Structure 1
Amino acid sequence: MRPLDWVVLAVSLAGIVLYGLWRGRGSDTTQKYLLAGKTMPWYAMALSIMATQASAITFISTTGQSYVDGMRFVQFYFGLPLAMIIIAAYVAPRFHASGVYTAYEYLERRFDARTRALVSVIFLIQRGLAVGVALSAPALVLTVIMGWPSEVTTLLMGLTVIGYTVSGGIAAVTWTDFVQMLVMTLGLVAALVTALWLSPVDLGGALQVAGAAGRLNPAVWTFDLNDRYNVWSGVIGGMFLALAYFGCDQSQVQRYLTGKSIAQAKLSLLFNAVAKIPMQFFILFIGAMVFVFFTFTKPPVVFDPGVQAKAEQTAGYEAVEREFNVAWNARRAAAEALPGTEAEFKAAQKAMDVARAKAATLAGHEGLNDTNYIFLSFVTRYMPVGVVGLIMAAIFAAAMSTISAEINSLATVSVIDVYRRHLRKEADDRHYLRASRWATGFWGMYAVVTAQYATNLGSLIEAVNMLGSLFYGGLLGVFGLAFFYPKVTGRGAFYGVLLGEAAIFATRFGTEITFLWFNVIGCLVVIVAGVMISALERRGTAAAE
């Protein structure tokens, strides 16, 4: 990066942090610290929800996902609008009316303390693992740009986020999310404009090349449980995942619990129902346009700079590089001659992929997935001065919004559902406020440590959703029981969750069914098991009487 890029990045990040500290002032009670005194307007909540879900992973990995696999990942979100409507109509009003701090507090009122404790622990495990993945994305950026060790980059980002989150609580998190989402939008627009501007073909030509490469494939209608992304997995599995994430995950529920009214909370959810798919389509389209750019501008043999450097030191690299160059030239020639040369284009692409795999093997990284480095390579090598700094600021803003939201929600559940409920029941409000700040700091440092182990997960956007899908089916099922099955008992709910999680892990390790369906399977098992166990319990009670 050049000096102007560093200025843009530094000013953007400093402004965001200072704004968050300013908006978070006055968070001097537990209710203000964790729920912002229920004063948030709909537009702040709406962009906070969107920013929290977006994360730096969206920038780095979703664009790379589109580069290698086309735009079919957008089907992942096809069920989200319906999920948001259901949450706005049935879930948010119940949480608001109950006056709870956390979603899991509601479960004790409906069932019992052990169901609340079980689900709280599941959330802490799942979200605790995910926060490290979220922090690893911006660390990847700094490592690529600066060559700094990942330990240094994760610590730098972690301390920045911990600073304003510990100080201002959820108010600081929400208002910084609001600004960060605006910065992210500017970064996305800048990335697309630059990709199109640098390509030697116009928009029509770019669409023709992307189409020939199979990168413009937003809808796959074939029903296949083993195919990750098709219309059916997106509409059904994606809807269940969105219901669980936005309706049961405290990192999202806490956003609309801060609303000044239930009407404002509903508006924030419905905004996301309308805006989310277009935003993801736009991000994936950027990845497709980056593919077009690299069709006419030679890409590196391997996008991961560390692996590329290792490969260059090996004896067989020159032959592999020649093979790659021949294939790339053939692909470019086929692209320039379109239409009518689609077969030649795809054959050349396959030859490039073979050469890339050989280079990775030479470097000792057989089966390398360097999807997360593709967009970074484009940004750092080809973006104009100043725009690089803006894109970096957008990536960091996305990371900060997600990490701050996650450590704040982890702290909330730790204090409200564990510490205050089971360990220290009678302390005053100032004690719980201090405990919340300490818990926020703890989870922030936990994220710094766990981020060190999230560097070899392949596509981060897939990794984080696969991780969530191992737990979300159980969460969704128990809240389904709480909202819609009044005769289900605490015992039925508790053992239903355990059986649902067992079914998910059995599916994961015993079948080839893809992860979006885990949410459906887990939810249905929880509901069926909860209803049956409760019926047996009532029958046993009646027989005893």
Structure 2
Amino acid sequence: MQQIDWIVLIATLAFIVFYGIYKTQGRNNVEDYIRGGSESNWWTVGLSVMATQASAITFLSTPGQAFHSGMGFVQLYFGIPIAMVIICLFFIPIYHKLKVYTAYEFLESRFDLKTRSLAAGLFLLQRGLSAGITIFAPSIILSAVLGWDLNTLNIIIGVLVVIYTISGGTKAVTVTQKQQMGVIFLGMFVAFFLIISYLPEDISFTNALEIAGASGKLNILDFSFSLDDRYTVWTGILGGTFLMLSYFGTDQSQVQRYLSGRSMREMQLGLIFNGLLKVPMQFFILLVGVMVFVFYQFNPTPLNFNPAATESVINSPLQEDYESLQGQLNELRLEKASLSKNLITAEKNQDSDFKQEYTVIQTKLQDATAQEEMIREEARDVISRADKNVETNDRDYVFIHFILNNLPRGLIGLLLAVILSAAMSSTASELNALATTTTMDLYRRNLKEERDDDHFVGATKWFTLSWGILAILIACTANLFDNLIQLVNIIGSIFYGTILGIFIVAFAIKRIGGNAVFIGAVITQMLVIALFCLDKYEYINLPYLLLNFIGCALVICIAYIIQLIKKD
């Protein structure tokens, strides 16, 4: 990084922090501090909701996901528009009518205190873990690539977020997220157009799409019913809808974003805005990853994008084996570059033999892509033998490697600001929601005597600090998973189905009481964790997205059976 990159990075982050503090001074009552004064318009609500979900993991992991596996990951988000409509019709009117501070207040009025506390506790457990991951994700990658100290990065990100979140509460989170989303959109569009400009002169954007499609990277829709396929249209619509219903309808980190809307209509428009924009946004981020893939068809590419992995094997007795594989990859890349250009030439000519020639080249290109993945897999095996502790899965490092090695001065700082801004926005929302839920659902609800607003605002600030410290500690002790964006969704899928099941019973099945749904939820959560463990150790084959549907359905069925056996 050059001096200009440091200036851009530090100036961007400093502006966001100080702007958040400046705009939210004097928020000393519960309504202002927790609900943001209910002042947000619809587009502010929509951007805040989007920024909460779009963590640094989104911008680090998603392009790498597309680089390796193509565009199919976008199917995960097919359930968002459906979920937004359902939440606007059923969830928001009830939350607005009851004037709740948290989603879980409704559960006490419908069931009882223990059910409210259980749902709040499940949220605190899964969101507390996720808060640590949203800090850890950019830290470990920037640490590996830039050589910065990992724990120092964790502390810097966590402290910056805690400062302005404590200062202004929900309003501080909301106003800073608008600036953060501006930085994020600017950075991603700049990166996209630069990638296109870096392609060979005779390769246009349309040609790049042809090459990506011929290499199997543009297979967006998968209508198969195979459980071996993690992302299909059906898992996206079924599992994705239940995941998004749980996330946007019952997760306080999201609910708190739209509860800050100035009216029910503003809340609903904000969610619809998010539902309409979210899928195209994820499509675009995946497309950036696909363009990075095309870029590396014509430019030198490492065997493994994690520099720590490469360094570990270069300094080991297996260096020759690794360099031999790198040589094979270099030769294969030259072959793929030639095939890619022949593919474009065949497509342009379109003579009588066009279809046959095009098909032959396409088949060769797909074979070469498969061979490349085999070489990379062999390289991962060599790295593991050289150092068992180093992370060999490099999906989360693909995009940051491209940024640092190809972007001009100044823009590197901007893209790093994108990553850190995304980490800060999502972490701020999580800490704000964790503190609010702890204060309102556990602390305030169990106090025997009422206190004034200053007391609860102060308590929320202390809980924000406590959750921030815990998130930093989790980040400092976390380990990199198969893919960070998958890890966040896996954690959510384990808990969200149970929480959503409780809410659906509350909304739709009046005859089921608090005792039945409480017992049903406890049993369901244990069963879902058991199913996940069985799948992890390959005793069963179950896409994790379906855990959302299974958890929700189990709560409803078990609670209904218990209610039939024993009435409340």
Asked whether 1:508 is paired with 2:508, we answer no
1:319, distance to aligned residue in structure 2 (A): 3.4
> Is the 1:87–1:243 Cα contact (8 Å) retained in structure 2?
yes
Counterpart in the other structure of 2:294: 292
Give the secondary structure class of the aligned counterpart of 1:177.
helix
Q: Distance in 2 between matches of 1:354 and 1:537?
A: 56
**1:459 and 1:351 mapped to 2: Cα distance?**
19
Pairing 1:84-483 to 2, within 5 Å after superposition = 84-200=84-200, 201-338=203-340, 339=343, 340=361, 341-365=364-388, 368-423=392-447, 425-483=449-507
Matched, 1:487 2:511: yes
CA RMSD in angstroms comes to 1.5
Q: Secondary structure at the match of 2:125?
A: helix
- Is 2:563 the partner of 1:534? yes
TM-score (norm 1): 0.96
Q: Residues 431 and 223 from structure 1, CA distance in 2 versus in 1: closer, same or farther, beyond 3 angstroms?
A: same
* Cα distance between partner residues in 1 of 2:373 and 2:398: 18
Query: Which amino acid in the other structure matches residue 229 of structure 2?
Result: D
Residues in 2 aligned to 1:303 and 1:527: alpha-carbon distance in whole angstroms: 45
Alpha-carbon offset, residue 425 of structure 1 = 4.1
Q: Is the 8 A contact 1:34 1:170 kept in 2?
A: yes
Cα distance, 1:142 vs structure 2: 3.5
376-385 vs 502-511, which moves further: 502-511
Distance 1:347 1:224 in 2: 21
* In 1: Cα distance, 2:373 partner to 2:256 partner: 46
Residue deviations 1:510-543 (CA, integer Å, cap 9, x gap): 32201100000000010111222223223xx7xx
Q: What letter is aligned with 1:397?
A: S
- Residue by residue over 1:190-242, the C-alpha shift from the partner in whole angstroms, topping out at 9 and shown as x without a partner, is 11112111122321231122122221111111012332101100011000000
2:352 match = none
Alpha-carbon contact 1:63-1:284 (below 8 Å) kept: yes
Unaligned runs of 5+ in 2: 344-360, 535-539
Instruction: Report the secondary structure of 1:116's partner residue.
Output: helix
What is the distance in 1 between the residues matched to 2:397 and 2:321?
24
- The worse-fitting range, judged by mean Cα deviation, of 391-400 and 423-432 is 423-432
1:343 deviates by 4.4
Provide the rounded CA distance (Å) in 2 between the counterparts of 1:330 and 1:166. 53
- Structure 1 unaligned segments of length 5 or more: list them: none
Q: Please give the alpha-carbon distance, in whole angstroms, between the structure 1 residues aligned to 2:221 and 2:262.
A: 39
CA positional deviation for 1:359 = 3.6
Say if 1:225 and 1:233, in contact at 8 Å, map to a contact too: no
Q: TM-score, normalised by structure 2?
A: 0.92
- Compute the displacement of 1:495 (Å): 1.0
Do the aligned residues in 2 keep the contact of 1:79 with 1:242 (CA within 8 Å)? yes
**8 Å CA contact retained: 1:295, 1:335:** yes
Partner of 1:524: 553
Please tell me whether the aligned partners of residues 115 and 518 of structure 2 are also in contact (alpha carbons under 8 angstroms).
yes
Deviates more, 1:325-334 or 1:103-112: 325-334
211-220 vs 59-68, greater mean Cα deviation: 211-220
Q: Secondary structure at the match of 2:566?
A: helix
Residues 212 and 345 of structure 1 are in contact (CA less than 8 Å); yes or no, is this contact kept in structure 2? no
Partner Cα separation in structure 2 for residue 173 and residue 166 of structure 1: 10
Cα deviations by residue, 1:461-514 (Å, 9 ceiling, x for unpaired): 000000110000000000000111111101111012112212312221232201
- How far off its partner does 1:324 sit? 2.4
CA drift of 1:304 comes to: 1.2
Q: Distance in 1 between matches of 2:113 and 2:97?
A: 20
Alignment partner, residue 16 of structure 2:
16
Measured in 2, the distance between the counterparts of 1:332 and 1:91 equals: 55
Aligned counterparts of 2:366 and 2:442: Cα–Cα separation in 1: 60
Shift of residue 351, structure 1, vs aligned partner: 4.1
Q: Which string of whole-angstrom CA distances, capped at 9 and with x for unpartnered residues, describes residues 89-134 of structure 1? A: 1101111111111111110010000001111111111000110110
Contact 1:302/1:359 (CA < 8 Å) preserved in 2? no
Greater CA deviation, 192-201 or 442-451?
A: 192-201
Q: Deviations over 1:392-412 (max 9, x none)?
A: 111111111000000000000
Are the aligned partners of 2:321 and 2:382 in contact in 1 as well (CA < 8 Å)?
no
C-alpha deviation, 1:367, in angstroms: 7.9
SS of the residue 1:421 aligns to: coil
Contact 2:258 2:267 in 1 (8 A): yes
- 1:522 corresponds to which letter in structure 2? G
Q: Which amino acid aligns with 2:507?
A: F
1:344, distance to aligned residue in structure 2 (A):
4.2
Specify the code of the residue in structure 1 equivalent to 2:459: A
Kindly report structure 1 stretches of 4+ aligned residues shifted beyond 4 Å: none
1:296 is paired with a residue whose SS is: coil
1:157 CA drift (Å):
0.7
Whether the 8 Å CA contact 1:302–1:360 is kept in 2: the answer is no
Q: For residue 516 of structure 1, what is the amino acid of its counterpart?
A: L
Question: For 1:322, what is the secondary structure of its paired residue?
Answer: helix
What is the one-letter code of the residue matched to 1:494? F
Is the partner of 1:209 in helix, strand or coil?
Answer: helix
Deviations 1:399-449 (A, max 9, x none): 110000000000001111111112454222111111000000111111111
Inter-partner Cα distance in structure 2 for 1:52 and 1:369:
26
- CA, structure 1 residues 480+363, in 2 after alignment: closer, same or farther (shift >3 Å)? same
The 8 Å contact of residues 327 and 351 in structure 1, kept in 2 or not, is answered as: no
**Greater mean deviation of Cα atoms: 210-219 or 246-255:** 210-219
Q: Deviations 1:365-398 (Å, cap 9, x if unpaired)? A: 4882121111111111111111111111111111
Alpha carbons 1:45, 1:255 under 8 Å: kept: yes
User: What is the rounded CA distance, in whole Å, between the counterparts of 2:54 and 2:86 in structure 1?
Assistant: 21
Letter of the 2:555 counterpart? V
Pairwise CA distance, 1:290: 0.7
Asked if 1 retains the 8 angstrom alpha-carbon contact of 2:318 and 2:386, the reply is: no
